[in-house]
Amino acid sequence: MGAFDISRNSFDPRKHYASVRMQQGRVVTDDDWNENERIENEERRRSRVDIIGPYGSPDQGFRIVNPHIAGGFIDFQILPGSFHLGGLRLELTAMPAVLPSFRLQKDWLQQATDLHPAPALAPGEERFDLVFLEAWQQAVSAVEDEELLEKALGGPDTCTRIRTMRRVHVFEDTGFPDCPRSWQRLQESWANDRLGTLTDEHERFSDALLTVTYTPDGASDDLCSPSITGGYLGAENQAIRVQLTDHEHFTWGFDNAAPLYRVTASAVGDTITMLTKPKDHHHWPLAGQIIEIIPWSAVLPNGEKVAEVSGHLSKVAASFDPDSCELTLTTPLPAGFGEAWKNRSDNASLQNQTPAEYFYLRVWNRGTDLSSDPEIQFTPGNPEALGNTGLVVTIDGPARVKHDYWVIAARPETPDQVVPWRLETGMQPHGIRRFYAPLAVIRWYNTGSGVEGEPIRDCRKTFRPLTQLESCCTYHVGDGFHSHGDFNSIEEALQNLPSEGGKICVLPGEHVANVDILNRTQIRISGCGERSVIRPRPGALDQPIFRISSSSKIQLDNLSMVTTSGIAVQVLDGVNANEESRQITIRENWILACVNAIRIRVREDIGGNNDIYIGYNRIGMIDKVDGGVAIFSIADGVFIERNRIVVVPPPDPDNPDDPRDNDEPPGGFFDPCIDPQNYYLLDFPLQLYLKWIFTYVMNVFISNQRPITYRTEGGIQIGGSSERVRILENVIIGGAGDGIKLGHLPQVNAVPIDDNFAYYNKAKIVNRFPTDTVEAAVRNEFSNFIYEISIEGNHIDHMGLSGIGVVTYFSRQKVQLIISVEGADIHRNFITRCAHQIPDIPDDMVNEVGYGGIAFSDAEQIVISENRIEDNGNSQLEPVCGIFFLYGEKIDISNNRILNNGPQLADNDALERGLRGGIVVRNAFKEVRTRAVANTEIVAPDGVPAVKVHDNIVTQPAGQALYIKALGPVSVVGNQLTTQGADYRVNPASSLAGCVFIFNLGIAQELFWLILINSLKDLTKLNVADQAGRAPVNSLAAPTQAPDNNLVNRVLYWPSGEVLFSNNQVTLDLREEAVNIVFSSQLIISLDDVAYSGNQAQCISLVDILLTNAAILAFSIRANDNRFEDAQLFDLIRGDNSATLYSLISIGLMNTAIGNQATHCLLVLGNMVTPAQLLNSSNMVLIGRQCRERGLFLQSGLGIKEAPVTPVVG
């Protein structure tokens, strides 16, 4: 490598000089010019690193492709293009149709022929190699590139050039298939080989230090000067170059070792012929001097060759002969020295000069020192004298890298000071500055037929030119403090968007905004997640951060919104809006709010599809008195998915499960003495506080041992008139309301009045209106129906009311309003630990209000399947249901786990009044076809049962596992129904049936016709009596009634009352300290048919009074193939003196009981024309000695003949 013929190198970037200025009448030195160039070059290099990064490519430059084995060695191609490394721009050009390759690099002519042989891999084995790039800069003189020589000057050269060099290397067998770990392995190998470390700018840093000191005394080279004590002894100004030749050797010379000549070598390598003659005899290489023979490094486009960084050092044996231009070496050149290029396939193109081969010679002139070795060995930390100069150098540091060099400027005028001054205290090398970057990871593998390779990772980083940064961001918005964009206001950016819309990218920072998007389309506002914080303006804290009205295709995403007094995002269409909002997307935001996080309300009187999407948001609701639901929506076509909604209470320092730090940051949201304005002051650590809040949102765990009483509603609310709503896989934790609330209340000017359940805007139970004005306003604005809602895969935990419930229960007698849902699919939700804050229930509404897992006031076409509804309620003392319907029809409840709702925590003596149970369907009334009745047309029935309860597991601590009152077919099949305690003290129905109560008001068609026929017979008798002159009975008292022309239609279309109760396991567990008095475990009543078959009915008790296990009253009954197990603890001791008299009481006109097995007697009664129609046979009774006597007593009382009984006593 050529060196600069310079006087000194004093450049120090730490001084932050920006440029050099000439002054009049002054001499300009080479260092003045060079200093200016070094300042500009370093500033440019650093700017590129700041702008581009430590490395990157704007195109395919230096991309590695087509790895293969060639001649037993690895090879690959390198795509042309540019690459920026450490602020240096590298460019690789290619010949037409010929790609550069690893083996034929133009800047690596001396690449060893045996470098990187093919991997020795067995079939199935693989190896990963890292390909990386090295770049440095070196001087190129006119000796190397003769085109630079100005012939007009008669021989002397002028300035040198700096060339950026690059080489692509391979680091074998990294052991990793990815770039980061492979790159790390390379750096570790450098550290192990003491080659330095990599800086952030990807420059390899050497920590070698050179310190200059002085000999105590010596004779000066200037004979006219006296001896010098401790300093430079030379008579000339010198730039002394000290360069490492390996880890433990260095060489040195005057003139920065810059003199460079073209030479040739004899075949033996000991005789050198100089092609470039020295300019005068002072520059002749003399015997004893050190010279360096340097081979080619790179080929230039004009065919000239650049010298390698270093070469072969030797002393001159015979001085330069000006006649023959020859000199001889003490150490001949090694065989094959500098001839690696001859093994290249393109070697012919390198021999287009005369002579075709040559070397370069560099002179390391050491003045009068002719005795030192070409390579001087040193010990780190020990001083070494630089010949007779009077200077002593000490080299230290573990990473002493070959080719590192220093330039010492020594002056006779200042013998005791050298430049740079830092050399006297220890200075790092001036050069060579080398930069590195990874390019690719190659996988070599043996296919069985040979080794093949593939580039599996492109490690290059790419970038686009500034003029091509055509991103989807129309404008960038900064906050003017942490970040800067096209605007510092979201509102201003929105105003400047074209009418066709665009994208606003919100940069990191704390933004203030109250954005109105009115009558706009195609607008997306996107941020940088948690770092893009948006809060309302100080004068509008109660206003929404974003208000969208009559707009379409609007998206808000990746924003962090904070509002403690208002709404984060509001979509609100005015009553006079011509267009309703559509295609609104709110996703992947971080929202902290109090009133509402998201509130959607479009015009209810405009049908269609609003296409609202709310997904992947993380929402924290501050737990305050005025806190509302997180998401409120009145719209059609709404999809709410995968949001995390958590009500955030004040920190509890005594709660080990609280993931936050124990102490709230000062002046936080839960401090009642702080003005909300203070949350947004510059000195309030808002982002730190948000991190503290969202730590709770993302990591909350609420223990059953530490229940929280919430004030904020929380959860999701779907308002009345909404259609086609899907709520999917949300996590909803905490709140005073329902997890998913259905319906909404008209907002009227009414305030809550204590303890009288009058209507107000947040009433949960209403049994009266406070004024006629309020009543008129509510009835005028009330929207009671919600259509087609799907609730799937949600996790709902720790809600104050139900997991899924309605906004309010209204008194049916006094208010006569109700929230109705038509068409709902509730599937695979996990609802647990809800119903912790059940309100007081007025006495006149205890049978109209239900809370727990899922609760509806009115519903039609409902499917509830595969849900887990567990551990809701504080205890069994409060009225809690697993699933509750006040009114409903076409209800399907299947494959649910409904467990431990109203957990058993104490005895049942203090049970509160109210509805409790596993599945409670208070009224399931199948539609009576009024149109068919009125118009006498024939309409086929749809065949859908009023209630279907299949394959559920229900365990109810207190209350009935199943309660159904229906008008229409009922199917209960394949369930496990368990009651662990009867609530007969507060629920009269439980005294009749402790576990299962089914009352069907449907009537069999046969029974209708029998009644009709008997009525006609009685009418005939009355007509005959009238003709005989006798007055009809009560003829004067009974008013004349018009004939009912639609009586037949009423009969035809009145719902049937079939009940199918099959293959269930029913358990009534009364094992508690108190004595229970219950008529039956199961009571099924219908005026139609009851099929009770294949069930296992078990009653477990101690000394309780239970008349019968199962009781069935119906028009027709088939109680077949059941197992009744109802022995009390002392039954076998007391014999037939048991408190349980019967296992089954079955009373019906048509009655069959076959194949049953029972503990106690079976009482099967019927009243048909002939005794043959009463079948009671093939049954087995375990304890039945008194069955006949008991049966006779009851039968005679009912006027029914005794049925044969086959008692079996075991």
pLDDT tens-digit series, residues 401-430: 999 999 999 999 999 999 999 999 999 999
The pLDDT mean for the chain works out to: 87
Instruction: Write out the DSSP string of 410-473.
Output: EETTEEEEEESGGGGT-B--SB---EEEEEEEEEEEE-SS-EEEEEEEE---B---GGG---S-
Closest listed residue to residue 840, CA positions, set 801, 886, 871: 801
Any residues with CB less than 8 A from the CB of 1139 and at least 6 apart, and which? 1103, 1104, 1105, 1106, 1128
Angstrom CA distances, 321 to 417, 531, 819, stand at 39, 75, 114
Percent of the chain residues past pLDDT 70, beyond the cut: 86
Which residues on neighbouring strands pair with residue 392, listed in sequence order?
Answer: 213, 385
Query: Measuring CA to CA, which residue among 739, 744, 738 is closest to residue 718?
Result: 744
> In the predicted model, is pLDDT for residue 506 greater than 60?
yes
Query: Whole-angstrom Cα distance, residue 662 to residue 651?
Result: 7
Predicted pLDDT at 910: 75
Q: What angle do CA 61, 63, 68 make, to 5 degrees?
A: 140
Say whether the peptide bond before residue 945 is cis (omega within 30 degrees of 0).
no
Return the pLDDT at 908. 64
Is the pLDDT assigned to residue 467 strictly greater than 80? no
Q: Which of 82-96, 242-256, 644-658 has the lowest mean pLDDT?
A: 644-658
The answer, yes or no, to whether residue 1202 has pLDDT greater than 60, is no
Check pLDDT > 50 for residue 1205: no
Tell me, what DSSP letter sits at residue 1204?
Answer: P
Domain chopping of the chain, boundaries: 55-203+435-458, 209-424, 594-645+712-877+887-904, 926-932+941-1016+1047-1210
Q: Hey, what are 240's tokens?
A: 């002394």
The answer on pLDDT for 105 being more than 90 is: yes
**Which of 277-291, 506-520, 1120-1134 has the weakest average pLDDT?**
1120-1134
Exposure b/e, 717-736, CB count within 10 A at least 16 = b:
bbbbbbbbbebbebbbbbbb
Q: Is 774 helix (H, G, I), strand (E, B) or coil?
A: helix
DSSP for 1000-1028 reads EEEE-HHHHHHHHHHHHHHHHHHHHHHHT
Q: How confident is the model at residue 257 (pLDDT cuts 50, 70, 90)?
A: very high
- The two structure tokens encoding residue 934: 């009125």
Residue 912 — very low, low, confident or very high, per pLDDT cuts 50/70/90? confident
The pLDDT, as a whole number, for residue 482 is 79
Question: How many degrees, rounded to 5, is the angle at CA 535 between CA 530 and CA 538?
Answer: 155
Find all residues with CB under 8 Å of 600, minimum gap 6, and list them.
570, 571, 584, 610, 612, 614, 631, 632, 633, 634, 635, 638
Ranges 347-356, 584-593, 948-957: which has the least confidence: 347-356
For residue 81, list its beta bridge partners: 92
pLDDT digits (tens, 9 = 90+) for 321-358: 999 999 999 999 999 999 999 999 999 999 988 999 99
Question: Three-state DSSP class for 297?
Answer: strand
pLDDT, average across residues 767-787: 89
Task: Write the CA distances from 1072 to 50, 662, 918, 1100, integer angstroms.
Answer: 78, 43, 19, 10
Please give the average per-residue pLDDT across 362-377, as a whole number: 96
> Which pLDDT band, with edges at 50, 70 and 90, does 1193 fall under?
very low
Q: Two tokens at 1142?
A: 């019967």
Q: Which of 1060 and 778 is assigned the larger pLDDT?
A: 1060
**CA gap 1166, 1150 in Å, rounded:** 6
Nearest to 1051 by CA among 1000, 999, 1011: 1011
- pLDDT-based confidence at 578, cuts 50/70/90? confident
Three-class HEC string of 852-883: EEEEEEEEEEEEEECCEEECCCCCCCCCCEEE
The per-residue pLDDT for 950 is: 98
Q: At 527, which amino acid appears?
A: G
Mean pLDDT of 1164-1187: 63
Q: What value does the mean pLDDT take over residues 507-518?
A: 93
First to last CA, the chain: 111
E-strand ranges in 903-975 read 917-925, 947-950, 953-956, 960-967, 970-973
pLDDT tens digits, 7-18: 999 999 999 999
Q: Which two tokens stand for residue 901?
A: 């709702």
Q: What is the Cα–Cα distance from 301 to 1096, expressed in whole angstroms?
A: 97
In the structure, what pLDDT confidence band is assigned to residue 982 with cuts at 50, 70 and 90? confident
pLDDT tens, residue by residue, 705-744: 667 899 999 999 999 999 999 999 999 999 999 999 999 9
Q: Output the six-digit token pair for 77.
A: 């191609």
Predicted local confidence at residue 57, as pLDDT: 95
Q: What is the pLDDT of residues 1142-1169, one digit of tens each?
A: 899 999 988 989 999 998 889 888 765 3
Instruction: Tell me how far CA of residue 217 lies from CA of 237, 383, 418, 954, in angstroms.
Output: 19, 16, 17, 105
- Please compute the mean of the pLDDT values over residues 237-251 and round it to a whole number: 96
What whole-number percentage of the chain has pLDDT above 90? 65
Report whether pLDDT(501) > 70. Answer: yes
Nearest CA-CA partner of 975 in 1082, 1090, 834: 1082
Helix (H, G, I), strand (E, B) or coil at 136: strand
- Peptide bond between residue 355 and the one before it cis (omega within 30 degrees of 0): yes
User: What three-state secondary structure class fits 64?
Assistant: strand
Position 1173 scores a pLDDT of 38
Name the strands in the sheet holding 81-85, side by side, starting at the edge strand that comes first in the sequence: 55-56, 81-85, 88-92
Q: Tell me the C-alpha distance between 573 and 580, whole Å.
A: 6
